[in-house]
Structure 1
């Protein structure tokens, strides 16, 4: 589904991302975790066609990202919900689909809002919704677009810990029902482990001369998340979950 080979992205003399090889299978949920400034978002934006590779290539189902994006096969969910403030929840959900020239499917949009816990809020505007509710609308909008791939960049970053946990459970339920291919960027190691089939650890490469080459982000480790599905809040207290989180944190901090 998603293939990247020898992918590097530079901004002038600054290398943001270097030598990334990546394959994400159809229907797979892959999380990307790392510190701020390590290239996680650059990787996601390049997969989504919002940034151009400096070297290497990336394809989505065999096509350049720009082609997949123009065909509405890519859906984005950002840290900021980017809802249109003058539109109601249901109008926001159907907006991207209308822009892509597809039937808005208002009944389907209402069903999605109901499954995300927003039954009765279809006519509410963003100013009337909490942060978690706004993100639910943004997620419903991306799914309603009918995209094959969901690219999610810290979508729960502005939420409190309890709401983040609730939203993580919610996104897994929606993923099971819709079985999209998901690449999910986060700063949170527990979140990355809880959500993913696989977890990629991205870190800035400080080897060599940082003044000449910058500190580009690289995939420094990759883990298969060996936790059974479906997952709910009970996973957080399990020994297996704690062990997996410790492994990922070790890689993130350079432990061998």
Structure 2
């Protein structure tokens, strides 16, 4: 469980987020959507212990986020894949687990790569992989770490729309199997709705959570969901609220 109480983050004369209260249940998939500069990434970094709040507190399972991160219980996936160019896909997947002091499991790492559609590319280096394949390796790396919490900051932001949709389906399927606690930042309202159990709409500056939507879509979710009336209505509701917040 992740808890934020009155969290504020200030940079010099700028307040990035202010008085944020948030509770995310264990195993919940939460998306955060909002325009550029509203504090989405700052919120994510503060949850993960990469940014210290100037006010309030953050707990991950009753621990400070820095302790959870040091213990390898928080995994990150960023917009840029941050893979080591001299390591193979398999070596990139197992590296973080070694860094966290945990014994890598090559068989599990290979199974994760297969589940991400990368069978046969285990020994390929990043320069031989497409953008979508690199992000699949980065996601497999975060999962292999064994972290209970996954923080994802626009991981599909540099990918084409078709690849984004494919990866969204894969992420949702992996989440159903692994039941990690996921916080996923995106600019895309359809992506936010498709992935989420709960979608948070942020506004700023300073950044605040303006609205929360429980998402009700059939499971398992696949590309067919995009054409359903329920999906389109929920996207429209979130988008309307997002625009109303900035009128």
TM-score range, shorter chain: over 0.9
How far 1:13 sits from its partner (Å)? 1.1
TM-score by length of 1: 0.95
**1:32-64, CA deviations, whole angstroms, 9 ceiling, x for partnerless residues?**
000111000000000000001111111000100
> For 2:69 and 2:81, how far apart are their aligned partners in 1?
19
Q: Within the alignment, does 1:244 sit opposite 2:234 as a pair? A: yes
**1:129-165, CA deviations, whole angstroms, 9 ceiling, x for partnerless residues?**
0000000000000000000000000000000000000
User: How many pairs are equivalent?
Assistant: 246
> For 1:196 and 1:98, how far apart are their aligned partners in 2?
31
- For 1:75, the equivalent position in structure 2 comes to 75
* Greater mean deviation of Cα atoms: 87-96 or 169-178: 169-178
* Greater mean deviation of Cα atoms: 4-13 or 122-131: 4-13
> For 2:163 and 2:2, how far apart are their aligned partners in 1?
30
Q: Report the 3-state secondary structure (helix = DSSP H, G, I; strand = E; otherwise coil) of the residue aligned with 1:22.
A: strand
Q: Report the 3-state secondary structure (helix = DSSP H, G, I; strand = E; otherwise coil) of the residue aligned with 1:158.
A: coil
- For 1:137, the equivalent position in structure 2 comes to 137
Q: Report the 3-state secondary structure (helix = DSSP H, G, I; strand = E; otherwise coil) of the residue aligned with 2:199.
A: strand
> For 1:157 and 1:77, how far apart are their aligned partners in 2?
12
How far 1:4 sits from its partner (Å)? 0.3
Coordinate RMSD, CA, aligned = 0.9
TM-score by length of 2: 0.98
Q: Within the alignment, does 1:85 sit opposite 2:85 as a pair? A: yes
Gaps of 5+ in 1: 205-214
- For 2:214, the equivalent position in structure 1 comes to 224
Gaps of 5+ in 2: none
How far 1:228 sits from its partner (Å)? 2.1
Q: Within the alignment, does 1:40 sit opposite 2:37 as a pair? A: no
- For 2:224, the equivalent position in structure 1 comes to 234
- For 1:198, the equivalent position in structure 2 comes to 198
1:1-256 paired onto structure 2 within 5 Å:
1-204=1-204, 215-254=205-244
> For 2:163 and 2:105, how far apart are their aligned partners in 1?
29
